[in-house]
Chain A
Amino acid sequence: MKISREEVEHVARLARLALEPTELDELTGQLDAILGYVDKLNELDTEDVEPTAHAVPMENAFREDQVQASIGIERALQNAPSTAGSCYQVPKVIE
């Protein structure tokens, strides 16, 4: 196995995914197959190939430091389930 059920559980928790035991089993199998395929790719000799960070052969896409209009508080908040003043309201965060 390339990945354990515990590892899948851990990654799911980090991603805030609540998985049923049957889903865990199913996903562990699928992820194992994906990692197996990556292993297959590892058989290629990539000694002289630079690691790819981006699929498109492009570099340096910039914008100049100029302020553009924001969308406004009303539009910014229009999809929020809950607001307080001009803020998004969320369950209490305890530090």
Chain B
Amino acid sequence: MDSRYEVVIGLEVHVQLTTKSKIFCGCSTAFGQAPNSQTCPVCLGLPGALPVLNRQVVEDAIKTGLATNCRIAPRSIFARKNYFYPDLPKGYQISQFELPICEHGWLEIETEEHGQKKVGITRIHMEEDAGKLLHADGNSSSVDLNRACTPLLEVVSEPDMRSADEAIAYLKQLHPIVVYLGVCDGNLEEGSFRCDANVSVRPWGQQEFGTRAEVKNLNSFRFIKQAIEYEVERQIEVIDDGGRVVQETRLFDADSGVTRSMRGKEEAHDYRYFPDPDLVPLVVSDAWVERVRGTLPELPAAKRQRYQGELGLAAYDAGVISAERPVAEYFEALVALHNHPKTCANWVMGELLRALNENGIGIADCPVTPKLLAGVLQRIEDNTISGKIAKTVFEEIWQTGKTADQVIEEKGLKQMTDTGAIEVIVAEVIAANPGQVAEYQAGKEKLMGFFVGQVMKASKGKANPGLVNQLLKKKLSE
């Protein structure tokens, strides 16, 4: 990063809501259906059709506002944002302009470079999505209006971020929140969580902001970072060459890693907003806000703190486990059955997530339930099996769905805790390796690992490692 300039970033995130029906009509919001099969006079923008607001959208907006420390407006109104584009059948988008439903929020972020800081949230408003333009073939484009009128929340941040890393940190706070709340499925590739970045640079110490460019088409955290970093370099180059940054919309091209000017949309910035006469004002009572507040789940930041404070997890582990609600819920169910949080965390982050990744399935479909895993951990705890054998047991449960006790019994994996039996093996190992014994006794204590390995191997991993160590030490010092 060029040390002569300060980077200023504000983010606009479009959060697609998980409602069953659209924001202003009863058409389904299901993804991947035949083009235009989910349309009606309202979302097609036919004359005379009237929009009626989906109550759930308001609930979701209030939830999101509360979770991001916003003030919920007692009264808000809908406005028409006027522009022409083939994916917008009415010639205007119903959105909120003056009087959005949420304002003045913030999220706390943390980066290695800058530590903790608050990023302001200017506003959150409700709006409808546009339709979809399909690949142009020859001289025409195709329009699918299934997505038209799908409910969105637009979360607008203050220009408070000073690096691409801070922008990513902010998004990584916001993303799990909307997923935890259940208002968004969080799928970046399918466009359920879309981000536009307003990027500008200014010489250090300058008060006013530089001219910003708005970068669109950012559908992964990696692309967002790439696009911002590219855009910062581009703007500095323009300034260094004696030019001026132009206020414009730029599209990020993931293949080449550059941003390109989207000419032609510039004029469209004159949106002529006015209150939509088809929709009456929205009034949200204190009682409504308080009722919604009562339904909020424990959010990731609070969970992370609790995992560190009450359960004694390391900061990193608490962060990983709280990042996704289903993982956190699995972990909590496991701890409820086996009250050793650190062991539970190690297994969830280790074996469990590894196996889920390898098999490409989500934790909701995990064949090893918290109850089955707790069964394994209890058998480690009471010394029936070693941690190593436990991994074999875990694999077997994954394949068969049997309980830990069944697997241990059937496969004969019970740990050898019979001192006599282990002593026999120890004696055999010592007899078979006279050279190493001599070296060990001459002071090469590192060889203890070798002996333990030999005994474990001979016992097929079933000998209790603690006992093996103890007996080996005793025998070798005789």
Contact = CB atoms under 8 A, between A and B. Distances in A.
Interface string B39-54: 1110010000000111
Nearest to B151: A65
Interface residues on A, range: 35 or more
B55 A63 contact: yes
Interface in B115-153: 133-134, 136, 138-145
B26 A63 contact: yes
B262 A95 contact: yes
A55 B281 CA distance: 10
Nearest to A13: B267
A66 B26 contact: yes
B196 to A, nearest CB: 15
A82 B20 CA distance: 30
A63 B54 contact: yes
B16 to A, nearest CB: 14
Contacts of A53: 77, 99, 275, 281
Interface string B63-95: 000000000000101000010111000000000
Interface residues on B, range: 35 or more
Contact of B139 (A11, A66, A92): A92
Given A71-B41, A72-B37, A86-B34, A65 B56 contact: yes
B356 interface: no
**Chain A contact surface mostly:** loop
Contacts of B55: 62-65
A92 B140 contact: yes
Nearest to B133: A93
B283 interface: yes
Given A67-B27, A70-B38, A91 B54 contact: no
Contacts of B35: 73, 85-87
Contacts of B40: 68, 70-71
8 contacts: A13-B267, A59-B280, A61-B279, A70-B40, A73-B36, A76-B37, A86-B35, A92-B136
Interface of A: 10-11, 13-14, 16, 53-56, 58-73, 76-77, 82, 84-95
